[in-house]
Amino acid sequence: MNHDLAVSRTQERTDLDPAAPRPPAARGPVSAAVRDHLLGRGPLPPSEAVAAADAYGDDLQMALYLCYELHYRGLAGVAPECEWDPELLRTRAALEGRFLTALRSDVPAHDDVTGALDELLEEPAEGSGVSHFLAAEGELWQLREYAAQRSVYHLKEADPHAWVLPRLHGRAKAGMAAVEFDEYGGGRADRVHAELFARLMSDLDLDPAYGRYADSASAAALATVNLMSLMGLHRSLRGALVGHFATVEVTSSPASRRLAKAMRRAGAGPAAAFFYDEHVEADAVHEQVVRHEVVDGLLEDEPHLAADVVFGIDTTVLLEDRLAAHLLDAWRAGTSSLHTPLGTTPGTS
């Protein structure tokens, strides 16, 4: 999109969504240029700046997050047409390429889907994971930070995975649709999982507004969400998204049981505990559907996607491990894990 045209379109629009979240603050030159471009204030970052950015760092991950949010609820002050701005899409592709190259370098390539799924059933050593830590000794301030970090996904829970539905067929599509139906509350608005998480946030005295804590989320948390968006928006990564989805469902139930315990032990409130109670039961069922209908169904139809499914599993584990290390290192040192402290809003310019 021509920069001058972007400025005029943004200035002339009277139908921009007033409920769209404010664009989070930039975290470096690349995300600053992307943010300014979206707001009609300047050009996109040069290719050499994208190429030099840390693939897992704050600047690149925030730049990707800004690009991807245009495909969800949009951003305040950003014209809807920016979603398909060809120049922005070229920049997004360069950012994605940097991210994907790092991911492919950091996980071994193989096609043993059964082995990769079986490894997910192996629980980490007692106390070594975030849910173990929070259940055993987590304090209320740490639970609040955890919820703020996770809110960048849970307030859009299931949405990134929904993009894969038109790319599947047969058993895989039917199984995926069945699980997504549950994620969206089985037709009941008050049971939509994103709404349940919003109530959890209210119990923790956090603002449940969509996108409110994007500024607080660490680069490691943003990367976990960007991975879903990346896989969901590319048909070529449909196998990887199925692998990601399977990883979430296979590992969710035991972790949710511990997190429900943590919420009760810290006195977080009934809605906070209920969110995880719901996932203990639902995800135990979802695990079987995803493994035997979605994954098996996909590979029955498209066996050549086995390595992609494993890639989705392994990259999800990689990024979740990076986030866990970030959280636990900060908390064990008695410091905040957040990029921006709760209650602090960076400048809105």
What's the CATH code of the domain at 271? 1.20.910.10
pLDDT of 287: 85
338 belongs to a structural domain: no
- Structural domain ending residue among the three candidates 105, 125, 146: 105
Q: How do residues 192-239 score in pLDDT, each as one tens digit? A: 999 999 999 999 999 999 999 999 999 999 999 999 999 999 999 999
Same-domain status, 185 and 306: yes
344 belongs to a structural domain: no
CA 81 to chain centre: 24
pLDDT of 286: 82
345 belongs to a structural domain: no
Please check the confidence at residue 37 and state whether its pLDDT lies above 60: yes
150 belongs to a structural domain: yes
- What is the pTM for the complete model shown? 0.93
337 belongs to a structural domain: no
One-letter amino acid at 257 equals R
Q: What share of the chain is helix, strand, coil (3-state, %, to 5)?
A: 70, 0, 30
349 belongs to a structural domain: no
Same-domain status, 96 and 183: no
122 belongs to a structural domain: yes
Separation between Cα atoms, residue 113 and residue 118, nearest integer Å: 9
- Structural domain ending residue among the three candidates 54, 86, 105: 105
Same-domain status, 206 and 295: yes
Q: How do residues 56-99 score in pLDDT, each as one tens digit? A: 999 999 999 999 999 999 999 999 999 999 999 999 999 999 99
Q: Which residues contact 49 (CB under 8 A, 6 or more apart)?
A: 29, 30, 33
Q: What is the mean pLDDT of residues 95-120?
A: 96
pLDDT of 343: 72
Q: For residue 346, what pLDDT band results from cuts at 50, 70 and 90?
A: low
Same-domain status, 99 and 116: no
- Structural domain ending residue among the three candidates 105, 125, 159: 105
Same-domain status, 30 and 98: yes
Same-domain status, 31 and 155: no
Same-domain status, 87 and 123: no
Q: For residue 103, what pLDDT band results from cuts at 50, 70 and 90?
A: very high
Separation between Cα atoms, residue 284 and residue 179, nearest integer Å: 11
Same-domain status, 54 and 138: no
One-letter amino acid at 148 equals A
- 328 touches 137 (CB < 8 A): no
Same-domain status, 94 and 197: no
Q: How do residues 143-183 score in pLDDT, each as one tens digit? A: 999 999 999 999 999 999 999 999 999 999 999 999 999 99
DSSP conformation class of 213: T
Please check the confidence at residue 344 and state whether its pLDDT lies above 70: no
Same-domain status, 80 and 170: no
Q: For residue 102, what pLDDT band results from cuts at 50, 70 and 90?
A: very high
Domain of 148, in residue numbers: 112-332
Same-domain status, 98 and 120: no
34 belongs to a structural domain: yes
Same-domain status, 58 and 136: no
pLDDT of 5: 45
Please tell me the total count of domains within the chain.
Answer: 2
